[in-house]
Amino acid sequence: MLIADTRSSRTLTALFLAFAMASVVGMALGFEHIGGYIPCALCLAQRPPYYIGAPLMLIAALISLAGGPSWAVRGLMAIGGLLMLYGLGLATYHSGVEWQWWPGPESCATSANAVTTDAGSLLGDLSSKRPPSCDEATFRVLGLSFAGWNVLVSAVLAAIAFKGALRKA
């Protein structure tokens, strides 16, 4: 069922989603590059929905601002919602691996960012850096790991995106 709406509300929703998605992936990159947290294979797999979703939501906002067709804006928001559902599935799977509810993939023991590309320190890095395993949460806040928080954030962003997609104008 479509919900009555105005163009400004669609624009604000799309801008919020673009900002939120960019912020989430920006925080992940900040924890990695500033905080020194090396992501595991499943952590890295959770980023593409945000990499794709943030620019799509920005495009949706621009189309809405330009007075473009509401079906295009709603369609992009629906795609954003689907991306967040995909991310929700990945984050749920990763959280389950961390809680030992099910086994993770064999690729969980490796991470491309764990070893430097500098030939001079390559041997030293091989013996001193151990990539994180997907089944060990490196950090928890209020009992939730990064993957656990991503479950919540993905669910909220998916709900907002689908609500925006169901608005007619």
Whether 53 maps to a domain, the answer reads yes
Looking at per-residue confidence, does 120 or 13 come out higher? 13
d(C-alpha 135, C-alpha 147), whole Å: 11
Could you tell me the residue range of the domain that residue 93 belongs to?
A: 24-108+132-168
Residue 3, in any domain of the structure: no
Residue 3 has pLDDT above 50, yes or no: no
CA angle 80, 82, 85 (to 5 degrees): 115
Residue whose entry in the numeric block shows the structure tokens 């620019």 = 55
Q: What's the predicted TM-score (pTM) here?
A: 0.77
Strand duo 144-145 + 167-168: pairing: unpaired
Our count of domains for the chain comes to 1
Q: Is residue 39 part of a domain?
A: yes
Residue 151 lies in a domain: yes
Sequence-ordered list of residues with C-beta below 8 angstroms from that of 51, at least 6 positions apart, any chain: 25
pLDDT at 8 over 90: no
Q: What tokens were used for 116? A: 């430097």
Q: Quickly tell me which residue has 């064999």 as its tokens.
A: 106
